[in-house]
Structure 1
Amino acid sequence: MKRFIVVIIEILICFLLQTTVFQWLALAHVTPNLLLILTVAVGLMRGRTEGLIVGFVCGLLIDFCYGDILGLYALIYMIIGYLNGYSHRIFVKDDLTIPIFLVGVSQFVYFFLFYIFEFLLKGKLNILFYLVSIGLPGIIYTVVVSIVLYKLLNIINTRLDRKEEEEV
């Protein structure tokens, strides 16, 4: 129950930071995707099921506030959370290489799926323009922010794991 409450608080804090504070810190009109970092971290640390659930909730929050099509972001985040859950078996708590790499790949997958649903299906075919102006800056900014945020999420997860082991 503690983990559930902590994850809900993490989702709300990341959502509020992403939609308020980081809007002021936008570089090249791009903000880091904190909810994606959280989805990747939960999928990596806790597995496919929890990654899928957290991805769904994060995506649904964005759908309710900003989405044109209800469920599009939820689907994208669910896919990302579930796929990152496969890396749970190779998860090493102190290594930052795998999480940072997965955040970069996940941000690219997010961009690509977003491009397909929002631009390609509307007849806007210039993917190189969108990749250079939106995709690459978003990937770089999200990866840089994920270094700090992932460490924080890892510390929280480790403490929750210790508390759960003490209770058993």
Structure 2
Amino acid sequence: MKRFIIVTIEILVLFLLQTTIFQWFALAGVVPNLLLILTVATGFMRGRTEGLTVGLVCGLMIDLLYGYVIGLYALIYMLIGYLNGYSNRIFAKEDMTIPIVLVGVSDALYFLLYYIFELLLKGKLNIGFYFIELGLPQIIYTVLVSILLYKLLNIINTRLDKKEEEEVSTYD
């Protein structure tokens, strides 16, 4: 139950930061995608199911407040959380390079899916222009912010894991 409450608070805080305070720190017209970082980190640290669930909630929040079609961002974030969940058992959670690379790759996938569903279907065919103007700055900004944010999320996850292990061991 504690994990559910903490993850809910993480989602709400990062959503509010992304949509309010980080709007003031926009570089090249883009803000870092904090909810994507949370989705990648959850999938990486907790597995496919939790990555998918956090991705669904994060995507629905964006859909409900900013999306034109309900479910589009939820689908994108769910896919990203689920795919990052595959790396849960393969890599060590303390390693900082793999999650940062996963954030960069996931943000590139996010841009590609965003381009297909939001721009390509509207007849905007110049993917190179949109990648340089929108995608690349967002990927770089998100990766830079993820260096700090992933470390914080990893600390929170590690403490929650320890508390859950302690609770299980007291019942044995």
Task: Report the TM-score, using the length of structure 2 for normalisation.
Answer: 0.97
Q: Specify the alignment match of 2:42 in structure 1.
A: 42
Q: Specify the alignment match of 1:150 in structure 2.
A: 150
Count of residue correspondences: 168
Q: Could you list the per-position Cα deviations for residues 113-138 of structure 1 after superposition, in whole angstroms to 9, with x for gaps in the alignment?
A: 00000010111100001000000000
Assess if the C-alpha contact under 8 Å between 2:44 and 2:93 holds in 1: no
> Could you tell me how far apart the structure 1 residues matched to 2:156 and 2:137 are?
28
Any unmatched runs of 5+ in structure 2? none
Instruction: State the secondary structure of the residue aligned to 1:109.
Output: helix
Q: Specify the alignment match of 1:61 in structure 2.
A: 61
Q: Specify the alignment match of 1:121 in structure 2.
A: 121
Residue identity opposite 1:27 in structure 2: L
Superposition pairs of residues 18-167 of structure 1, within 5 angstroms: 18-167=18-167
CA RMSD of aligned residues (A): 0.5
> Could you tell me how far apart the structure 2 residues matched to 1:24 and 1:153 are?
23
Assess if the C-alpha contact under 8 Å between 2:47 and 2:88 holds in 1: yes
Alpha-carbon distance, 1:90 to partner: 1.9
> Could you tell me how far apart the structure 2 residues matched to 1:64 and 1:93 are?
32
Percent identity, aligned pairs only? 77
Instruction: State the secondary structure of the residue aligned to 2:87.
Output: helix
Any unmatched runs of 5+ in structure 1? none
> Could you tell me how far apart the structure 2 residues matched to 1:93 and 1:112 are?
27
Residue identity opposite 2:98 in structure 1: I
Assess if the C-alpha contact under 8 Å between 1:45 and 1:91 holds in 2: no
Residue identity opposite 1:157 in structure 2: N
Instruction: State the secondary structure of the residue aligned to 2:89.
Output: helix
Task: Report the TM-score, using the length of structure 1 for normalisation.
Answer: 0.99
Residue identity opposite 1:124 in structure 2: K
Residue identity opposite 1:13 in structure 2: V
Alpha-carbon distance, 1:92 to partner: 1.3
> Could you tell me how far apart the structure 2 residues matched to 1:17 and 1:34 are?
8
